[in-house]
Structure formats: structure tokens, C-alpha cells
Amino acid sequence: MTKNKIPGQQAQSLTGGMTRNATAESGDRAGHARARPAMERVSHARPPRIVLYSHDTMGLGHARRNLTIARALAGPGLRANVLLVTGANLVAGLSLPPGVDCLTLPAIHKDIDGGYRSRNLDLPLGELTALRSGSIRGALEAFDPDVLIVDNVPRGANGELDEALRFLEGRGGTRCILGLRDVLDSPETVVAEWRRRDNAAWVERYYDAVWVYGDPRVFDPVQEYGLSERIAAKLCFTGYLERNLDNLSASGCGAPHAGVELPLGEMLLCMAGGGQDGAALARAVAEATLPEGMGALILTGPFMPANMKQKLAAHAANRPQLQVLEYHPEPLRLLMHADAVVSMGGYNTVSEILSLQKRALIVPRILPRREQLIRAERLAALGLLDMALPEKLTPALISRWVGEPAHPLPRASELISFNGLSRLQRLLQEQLRVQDLTVAS
């Protein structure tokens, strides 16, 4: 377990706030008027229209982050109409708030080695990409958004956004924003990947702003990835996306446990992400020895292999203090009632843990990306959580950690910026004002 480790690279805090460029308006697209006639859009007599795209090839992290953002943008203040364009079909089954709807793309699966293939359809990857690309472009043309926010991947999975970005540039009238989580991957991997995919050139040409859902005191992508001056001029740190009951769907507010029978005493919550690589974590928690009076709830994730879920269910049948749940539409509700958490280190889960100030042991994924490892190391160095490497994971380690006396935790908001959702509304309003001026010119 790791506590208070010194980060390998010190990210520098920016003076004068969280933004490198307060207006985020430099770059090719901001310097010229849009081709679209102003008469085709009646300023904002209509509610603003926002599209949130996420490629969703591994787990549910991208879709969950976009859903959190969508709830904030559709709520009081902006009251936007938000269309989620996602590769995660589970989103379509959730209770979406008023003003939010979902277009689900045919699913792509990302293997542990980083390769892509069709998840469900018997189609070659090229045909599946073309199908998704055409669906995205058609949705943008029909929905006519004021703003497109792309999650993490500038050109989409396999370049599926290329056609849509060219279309929006030629038509004009839509602001394009790239939203990045706090850490993408190790610097050497990101530099090589962005060079191979020509990402920098696409961001410089097609995007009006880059929003980082993090804090440079934890990780500064401009410094650590060597991003160009033109991209740095568009970049703004929003702060981490805070989580609370306001982020949850209204339909679930009267049922905080959603039918889950919580332990009578203290609860250890295990969160295995999407589940496809969380079996070792779930097994270690299932076999751990818990303190007297503590029960455990394991959230496997919908993509955990069926044989592993069966083994966990059989194990739980012989342990009254252990419960196994495949999926919960609002895991934040379970987290609220946890006394301790053992989890993988995805952005959403860690943000939720820090928002609720829960004692947590993070066991990060290290393949195919080292994003979770870097995040866990940096936050452990701040004393906000504990960390264990996957190769050190055993039931005995879990038993020792959960049996240790809980140490006081600092509030995350006192060490890092943690008001990203409220800041996003202000940033989006700035983009809408620029969009109005540009269309009218």
C-alpha cells in the first residue's frame, strides 16, 4: 500500500486561476466568421443544444462522465437540450433527466492489448467504424447543436469523428470542445499516440477549446505531454467534477438503495469498474477476512466474465456477510453508505470517492493504459487515498488494510480544485456567447 508518495513530476499551478487562456478562443476556427447565415438560427430563443460524444470501447467511464456533465447542463441555469452520443448501450436503459436523451452507437470492444473489434455485430472493424461515423454525422446534422463536446479522443475511435468534424467546420455554427480527463496515459504513450494519429493538427484546426477535468497541481498535460502552444492557448482546467445527490437521476431519489440489501453494520464496498479486468480485485475482496460487524458488497460491473461472476455468487452463498451485485445504475448511492472502499482507479470512481471523502484503497489498472496508476500515485502523494499495485493484491492485503484504524482524511477540495461541474456551466455560456456573435457576423 502506498501513502504520501512524492510524485515523479511536479505539475505547476497556474497563477491567476485555472485557465491558460481565459477566453479559450485562439486558433483557426475562432479567427474567422462562420459561413452559416444568421437567419438559420434564432440566437438562443430556443434552449441551447449540446451533443456529448464518447466512444466507450472499454468500461463505462467515458459514458458515465458525460452523463454527469449532461445532468449538470440540462439542470437549472442553462436548461440545455443534451444529446448523448455513446458506444455504451447501458446508458439507453438508465433513467435520463428531462432535457437529456441518448443515441447509442453499435458497440466496439477494446482488448487488453489496446486492439479494437466489434463487440456484438459480426462486422469487420472498418464497416463498423463507417456505420458509427455515418450515424454520428447524421445526428449532428439533424440535431443542429450549438456545442459539441468530445470526450478524450479528438478524432473518435478509429477516426470515426473525422467526417463529422469536417462537416461542422464547413457548415459553421457549432462550437467544438475537446474534454479531457485529468490523466490520459503515460507521457511517452500519449506523445507517440498523438503523433501517430495526428491528433495535435486536428485539435488545432477543428476545436475551439480544450477543457481538462482536473487540476494542474495533480497533473498538467501541457507540461507532461509537451502540447503545442496553440493547444495550450485553448486549454482550460475546469477542476475535478464534484459528485453529490444533485448529480443523480430524479427517479431514483426515493430509493437510495435501489433494492440492494445493505449490511446491517459497517460496509466495505468493492468497485471493479466495468468488470472486464476487475476479476482479481473482486476475488481478493471476496476471500478477505473482514472485521467483526463488517459486511462487503462487491459491484462486479456488467462486463466481468460470466464464469467469474458465477464463482463470486457461489462464494457469497456461503458467506452471509458478502453480497455480489453485477450492476447498479447509480453507484454513488452505494458509495454514500460505505465505510471503506476498495476500487479500481478510474476517473469517475475516484472523483466520487474524493467528493464523499471516503477511506479508499485504489488498485489501479496498469494495462492497456497507465492512466489509473498515475492518478492513484499523485492522489496518494497528497494523502487523499491509499494505493496498492495489482501484483501485490491478495486477500491478506485487503484484510490488513480494512483492519487498520482509519486515519483522518484531508478534504480533497482543500488541496485541489473540485468544482468542475459549476465551472462547466460558466465556460459553456462563454462558448454560447461567442457562437452567437460568430453566427451573426
Q: Are residues 398 and 283 in the same domain?
A: yes
230 and 281 together in one domain: no
409 and 435 housed in the same domain: no
Q: For residue 328, give the nearest of 171, 117, 94 by alpha carbon.
A: 94
pLDDT score of 406 more than 50: yes
pLDDT of residue 5: 35
Give residue 93's pLDDT band: very low, low, confident or very high (50, 70, 90).
Answer: low
The reply to whether 185 falls in a domain is yes
Residue 302, C-alpha cell as written in the block: 456488467
Q: Are residues 110 and 171 in the same domain?
A: yes
Are 367 and 354 part of one and the same domain?
yes
274 band by pLDDT with thresholds 50, 70 and 90: confident
Do 82 and 171 lie in a common domain? yes
Both 360 and 424 in one domain: the answer is no
> Is 304 in the same domain as 319?
yes
Task: State yes or no: pLDDT of 30 exceeds 80.
Answer: no
**Mean pLDDT calculated for residue range 58-70:** 82
Instruction: Determine the structural domain holding residue 87 and report its residue range.
Output: 29-240+418-440
Residue 13 lies in a domain: no
DSSP β-bridge partners for residue 267: 295
| pTM attached to this predicted model | 0.86
Q: Which amino acid is at 82?
A: V
Indicate if 309 and 191 belong to the same structural domain: no
Q: Is the same domain home to 55 and 86?
A: yes
Q: Can you state the percent helix, strand and coil of the chain, rounding each to 5?
A: 40, 15, 45
- Specify the number of domains making up the chain: 2
CATH number of the structural domain spanning residue 53:
3.40.50.2000
Average pLDDT over residues 166-172: 96
Q: What is the arithmetic mean of pLDDT over 397-401?
A: 97
Q: Please indicate, yes or no, if residue 1 is contained in any of the structural domains.
A: no
Written as nine digits, the cell of 107 is: 458497440
Same domain, 187 and 293: no
The pLDDT mean for the chain works out to 85
Q: Which residue has the higher pLDDT, 175 or 302?
A: 175
Claim to verify: residue 138 and residue 229 sit in the same structural domain: yes
- Residue 10 domain flag: no
